[in-house]
Structure 1
Amino acid sequence: MKKCVIAICLLLNFCFAIDFYNSNNDEIIQVDFFNQEKEINFKIYKQNRLIKDAKAKMPFNEVLGIEYGSDEKGNLFEADEYVYETKTCYISFRIESDDKSAMSIGVSDNCKELNELNSRYFERK
């Protein structure tokens, strides 16, 4: 049932935010899909404090290719990639393609405030 609601929501191009949690439940990434799933609004919370609120886009080459994310055990899942990029920060979100149930995140070294999130895995609860 949940998959049907998400599919209808995404097809009609309106959607509620999806919350992804890390294994300790102290980091939450809230994602809202728009523009036919080619862009996301994201909010990153650490211990209930908002630390980043921005938009990420699917790279042009991602529309044609397949990306993979990985869980904490190294198991791969097919994913859609969204990228946030500025002069001082690069964040890659790899969100499970089928039912949006999991996400892995990559953060560049020069993105100081979010460095600790690099290679983290998040799940919907």
Structure 2
Amino acid sequence: MTLSLAMITIDTADALPLARWWAEQTGGSIVAENEGWFVTVALGDGQPMLAFQQVEDPTPGKNRIHLDVTTADRETEVRRLIAAGATLIAEREMPGLSWTTLADPNGNQFCVADAADHS
């Protein structure tokens, strides 16, 4: 028996606006709002869903799990994400791989790398 990743859930104090932001950035669509307390975003066939769960007290500090996303043009995509409300955390590099760490409007960090680096 094996596990299949179906959904990645992010705690937040205000689920609907953050779900809308991620849906817009990923080209996904909100498929359930549940009165704003548990909002799900479909990303497309074969991809896990994103969910945003409203909680009274989101975990403070740096998130322990983060999303790694790829794109064909990291520099352009990072500029677009920042213009849409993301915050630049750092440019990072190690032999054979470079990426940009950003934070979404709620402060959840995520990384953007070139798709070619992950093939």
TM-score scaled by structure 1? Answer: 0.28
Which structure: larger Rg?
2
